[in-house]
Structure 1
Amino acid sequence: MNLSDLKFMYEGKAKKLYEYDEDKTLIYYKDDVTANNGEMKDNMKGKGNINKKFSVYFFKMLEEKGIETHFVEDVDENSFIAEKVDIIPLEVIVRNYAAGSFCRRYGVEKGMKLEFPLVEFSLKDDTLGDPMISKDAALAIKLTDEKTINYLKDQALKINKILNNYFLEKNIILVDYKLEFGIKNGKIILADEISPDTCRFWDSKTKESLDKDVYRESKGNLVDTYSSLTRRLGL
């Protein structure tokens, strides 16, 4: 598909969105990689294809488990067609283990298993660095309503159970990850992506990073790490 034939809508750090038709969007996954709120930037051939392949696989799997997503149809190496949604301006973060900013914020040891899956929210705003936001603050500034934010948490926990069971069978720890949701015809559905860019994975035996921490912490080649992960999952 020739992207120049489509109306350009939006460009983020890792994706470009084009209008496919009145109700659908074409999502193109770029080879760009960023970290630390854009302080680190690179372009790595093949990275977009891996993230697209990963997202398509898990959107399909979650659909089979009763989680409605924006995925419609696969297109090519770097693109798929999705329902056009109004993105809810909250990132939903699910944590099973302590890592990254959580450790810095609370002074806990990396790798500590949490007593229960923790759902947090951050404000979806690149200019502010996507800051953490409490449920009450989100309601107070009218980002959303209580029914919606409770539904987001409920869906996140359902998704977490499905993904945790899947990755445990592959001897992979799902440490934490980010979800985004959108509204289509009044219904809230899972949107954006599920990829090694938005998830933190560790090998269950070695605790080796299998995600973007390899890039953040200069621990190896990002595309090689992502490629190894997809092979391990049989994608």
Structure 2
Amino acid sequence: MPDDELLALRERREPDIVGKSKKLWRLDDGRCLIELIPSLRSFTYDRDEIVTDTGPLRLEFYERAAARLTADGVRTAFVRKVSPICYLADYCPAPPFEVVVKNRAVGSTLIKYPGLFVPEEKLPRPVVKFDYRTDPEDQPIAEDYLRALGIDVDELARLARTVNDSLASWLHPLELWDFCLIFGTAADGAPVLISEVSQDCMRLRHADGSSLDKDLFRKGAGHQEIVTAWRRLLDELR
């Protein structure tokens, strides 16, 4: 379907799925059109706002990240960008859990397990954990629960580490502190990365120590400061 017809679909019918950061329209060919909602949310800091200019910045980063991951052998749902805030993707239902990779002791590591780690210390090896996705806050879930559901936890952990290696190499000298992923299952039974990979789902630091991700929002930065930092990130990758 041509891009103009895909975009017109948004006017003809309501989306099939509306989340906090995306709208999704299913297509007859097993794909879907996704429109980004430029929302930023932080449960910990009780902040939920629309930051208009972040949508195109997220999608530009995701387009580049998906190309790099594909080149490194990671199967992603991303097909192509259709507009500054819309993209075409293979449709796979999202499971109720996500995979989180931690390279440093930040975020939930410090909140859930106070006193175990020095804040922001580099971990001796990447930590992979699984979180059950539920409102208002995601919760850690034991891997054996997922195994009881027939999920190949070891394979998902392996893929998550592959994504970590790929992104860290691509982003260097920027430092990837942590990120989250969602893996769906393709029609052939293979796992496929269906979540957006962007500044909205990771912690990323410049060599000068400044934040280039949603931590700016978490810590009270204004909209323009966030947009400026995210544009700087894309400039660093050119």
Same fold (TM over 0.5): yes
Aligned match of 2:209? 207
Q: Deviations over 1:135-173 (max 9, x none)?
A: 123334x3xx25x211110100111111111122xx211
Letter in 2 for 1:89: P
Following TM superposition, by how much is the alpha carbon of 1:42 offset from its aligned partner in structure 2, in angstroms?
A: 1.2
Q: Work out the CA distance in 2 between the residues paired with 1:22 and 1:38.
A: 41
TM-score normalised by the chain length of structure 2: 0.89
Letter in 2 for 1:180: I
Q: Cα gap change, 1:66/1:154 in structure 2, threshold over 3 Å: closer, same or farther?
A: same
Match of 1:132 among 105, 116, 140: 140
Aligned match of 1:189? 192
Q: Work out the CA distance in 2 between the residues paired with 1:33 and 1:101.
A: 18
Q: Does 1:112 align with 2:121?
A: yes
Q: Deviations over 1:21-64 (max 9, x none)?
A: 34011111112221116931111121111111111111111111
Structure 2 SS opposite 1:223? helix
Q: Does 1:84 align with 2:91?
A: yes
Aligned match of 1:233? 237
Q: Deviations over 1:42-88 (max 9, x none)?
A: 11121111111111111111111111110112201101100010222
Q: Work out the CA distance in 2 between the residues paired with 1:199 and 1:193.
A: 10
Range 105-114 or range 185-194, more displaced: 105-114
TM-score normalised by the chain length of structure 1: 0.90
Q: Work out the CA distance in 2 between the residues paired with 1:233 and 1:226.
A: 11
Following TM superposition, by how much is the alpha carbon of 1:178 offset from its aligned partner in structure 2, in angstroms?
A: 0.3
Letter in 1 for 2:219: E
Aligned match of 2:43? 36
Letter in 1 for 2:36: Y
Q: Does 1:154 align with 2:158?
A: yes
Q: Cα gap change, 1:174/1:136 in structure 2, threshold over 3 Å: closer, same or farther?
A: same
Letter in 2 for 1:8: P
Kindly indicate whether the alpha-carbon contact (under 8 Å) linking 2:45 and 2:218 is maintained by their aligned counterparts in 1.
no
Q: Deviations over 1:109-150 (max 9, x none)?
A: 22201010110000122x25211112123334x3xx25x211
1:140-179 to 2 correspondence within 5 Å?
140=148, 142=149, 145-146=150-151, 148-168=152-172, 171-179=173-181
Kindly indicate whether the alpha-carbon contact (under 8 Å) linking 1:6 and 1:20 is maintained by their aligned counterparts in 2.
no
Q: Does 1:102 align with 2:104?
A: no
Kindly indicate whether the alpha-carbon contact (under 8 Å) linking 2:65 and 2:197 is maintained by their aligned counterparts in 1.
yes
Aligned match of 2:27? 20
Structure 1 SS opposite 2:15? strand
Following TM superposition, by how much is the alpha carbon of 1:192 offset from its aligned partner in structure 2, in angstroms?
A: 1.4
Kindly indicate whether the alpha-carbon contact (under 8 Å) linking 1:20 and 1:81 is maintained by their aligned counterparts in 2.
no
Aligned match of 2:219? 217
Structure 2 SS opposite 1:208? coil
Q: How many percent identity over aligned positions?
A: 27
Q: Work out the CA distance in 2 between the residues paired with 1:180 and 1:37.
A: 21
CA root-mean-square deviation: 1.7
Q: Work out the CA distance in 2 between the residues paired with 1:65 and 1:131.
A: 30
Structure 1 residue runs without a partner (length 5+): none
Structure 2 SS opposite 1:109? coil
